[in-house]
Chain A
Amino acid sequence: MKSILVLVAVVGALCVLPFLGGNAYTLHIYGLVGIYAIVAMGLNLVFGYTGQISLGHAAYFAVGAYISAMTTIDLGMPYIIGLLAAIVATFILGYLVGTPSLKLEGAYLGMATIGFGEIVKMTLVNWEDVTRGPTGISRIPQPELFGLDFNTPLLRYYFVLGVAVIAFIVYWNLVRSHYGTRFVAVRDSAKAASAMGIDLQRTKTLAFAISTAFAGVGGSLYAHVNRYIAPDAFGLGESINLLVMTVIGGMGTLVGPIVGAAVVVYLRESLQVLADFNMLIYGLLLMLLMVFVPRGLIGSFKLFWQKRWGHAESQ
């Protein structure tokens, strides 16, 4: 009950956030945070909780974006159909790719996921008849729901916020259900997990497919809020960025990915002023964060809190 009140309070605060001196640009940035938070939450399910690395999540982000954009433009469907198509397509794709890939572990799984990510990117670049090739898709319609057009930056912000809150509730319910403990069990001891009746392969694949569906939701929002997508934005660099968000926030912590998404988006935007030096400083900051907060912002905070206030015996 307490946690529901906290959730309501946080959502309330995010609703008034635009009125604390926001302009179209800051609203766009807040929207991006929401979009990346959704993707990072999904990635946290498979990477943080289940312990299976994915270096190819930008591919599912891309598939969600393209499917959604093409469903609305080429098929002339309403936005909600584009969003649903993105979710279904990325879930099925995640399931199909995850089934063979998740037989691998560690670095090998990393390589396999990079491989698939590159396949998707090359397909987007070269299958010009469908994807419009390297130039990408522009003039993607704004999100609309049942006749309501989200045609101002403020409305788009609220739209992203709404979807992000729904995504968070789904993610939170999963984590606190026995699926969440099952994911951690697979990560902690595969041997004991299978002796508890857990089908390792099925559990990992489920976590992976749910996680790719989250990337699909993020992709759909990205396409329709940004209104322009191109293959360039969905490479290995982006996959790593998504992973960085999860790690910086705190792998396997509930709100870690949200904090991580906010930090990464904020850093990337505010460092733009440094022009040529921006990636240099960004990289340096990431290194410092990893050295001084190795468990991520939320993970390290939790540890500190437990040491300071918690029972000594429970740590």
Chain B
Amino acid sequence: MLKVSDLAKSFAGVKAVAGVSFEIAKGEILSMIGPNGAGKTSAFNMITGFYAPDAGSIVFEGRELNGLPPHAIAKAGIGRTFQNIELFHDLTVRENMRVALQCNSPVTTIGAILRMPSTVRREIEENRRTDELLKMMGLADKADYQSSALSYGEQRRLEMARALATDATLLLLDEPTAGMTPAEVGIMMDTIRKVRDTGITVFLIEHNMKLVMSISDRIVVMDHGVKIAEDVPSEIRKHPAVLRAYLGEEEVA
């Protein structure tokens, strides 16, 4: 579904990502792990168009994404969340969803100004889709809340619901459980599985090993801007390069 080849990006001479390649298959949950500064978020930002890669290619369902701006990539079907939650805090939960639903809206400026029947019909359809997604995320009763009034875990789930509302087929989650309590992590884990079960491919960056090991179909391990391993969780657990990156040289030796 997504094929990343030889992706590279430097910041002021420092190689954040130095030639990384991997593939994501349709319907799987792929996790990317690695110590801080390994280049995970940089890779994410390149796939979603927030950074322009120095080299390499990103092919999504047969289409080259390298060089496209973020909004075009969102339209192509890749949704994302942010490490530091980025909600529209002046808007309600429903309005946040609405921003995402406009991604593929056929309503034109003239249609909006004249408030044509097709505009109103689209709004009814948007409300229905919003209720459906909020229900899936366990936020059904929060639709009219100000998004800033939600709890931390709810905000994360709203961000996911919003990303899905763009009609994304590939969902990128940047540390979805950062700063969460164990109970909230449990809910998030169920939520990610639920999303996958609707046929959506999930690619996540995560530090919580328990979650990564139990949820992932495959894991990509990054260190110092390069991929040091890629395998199923049971193999990653005992992979020497991974142990070295996480535990340091001596323990392994």
A195 in contact with B112 given A178-B102, A181-B95, A185-B91 (CB within 8 Å): no
The proximity string for A residues 190-203 relative to B, scoring 1 for CB distances below 8 Å and 0 otherwise, is 01111111111000
A194 in contact with B112 given A178-B102, A188-B91, A315-B146 (CB within 8 Å): no
Nearest B-chain residue to A252, judged by Cβ = B90
Chain A residues with CB under 8 Å of B166's CB are 196-197
Contact yes or no, B114 A313, CB < 8 A? no
A174 in contact with B112 given A181-B98, A192-B88, A313-B145 (CB within 8 Å): yes
Contact yes or no, B98 A178, CB < 8 A? yes
Contact yes or no, A173 B86, CB < 8 A? no
What's the Cα separation between A35 and B104 when bound, in Å?
Answer: 36
The proximity string for B residues 105-123 relative to A, scoring 1 for CB distances below 8 Å and 0 otherwise, is 1010100111100010001
Chain B residues with CB under 8 Å of A185's CB are 88, 91, 99
8 Å CB interface, A160-219 against B:
170, 173-174, 177-179, 181-182, 184-185, 187-189, 191-200, 206, 210
- The DSSP consensus for interface residues of chain A is helix
A193 in contact with B145 given A173-B112, A177-B115, A188-B90 (CB within 8 Å): no
Tell me, rounded to whole Å, the shortest Cβ–Cβ distance linking B121 to chain A: 13
Chain A residues with CB under 8 Å of B79's CB are 195
Contact yes or no, A197 B71, CB < 8 A? yes
Contact yes or no, B109 A200, CB < 8 A? no
A193 in contact with B99 given A178-B112, A179-B109, A314-B149 (CB within 8 Å): yes
Contact yes or no, A197 B75, CB < 8 A? yes
Contact yes or no, A191 B82, CB < 8 A? yes
Contact yes or no, B112 A196, CB < 8 A? no
What's the Cα separation between A194 and B149 when bound, in Å?
Answer: 23
Contact yes or no, B71 A199, CB < 8 A? yes
Contact yes or no, B82 A192, CB < 8 A? yes
Contact yes or no, A198 B112, CB < 8 A? no
Chain B residues with CB under 8 Å of A179's CB are 109, 112
8 Å CB interface, A138-169 against B:
none
Nearest A-chain residue to B101, judged by Cβ = A178
Contact yes or no, B112 A181, CB < 8 A? no
Tell me, rounded to whole Å, the shortest Cβ–Cβ distance linking B135 to chain A: 20
Chain A residues with CB under 8 Å of B98's CB are 178, 181
Most buried by A among B102, B105, B145: B102
The proximity string for B residues 51-65 relative to A, scoring 1 for CB distances below 8 Å and 0 otherwise, is 000000000000000
Contact of A196 among B74, B109, B144 (CB under 8 A): B74
Contact of B87 among A170, A178, A189, A194 (CB under 8 A): A189
Contact yes or no, B71 A182, CB < 8 A? no
- For the complex of A and B, 6 pairs with smallest distance between CB atoms: A197-B103, A177-B112, A197-B74, A192-B86, A194-B70, A188-B88
List 19 contacting pairs A-B, 8 Å CB cutoff, sorted by A. Answer: A177-B115, A178-B107, A182-B99, A184-B91, A185-B99, A188-B87, A192-B88, A194-B49, A194-B71, A194-B74, A195-B80, A196-B100, A196-B166, A198-B71, A198-B102, A252-B90, A314-B144, A314-B146, A314-B149
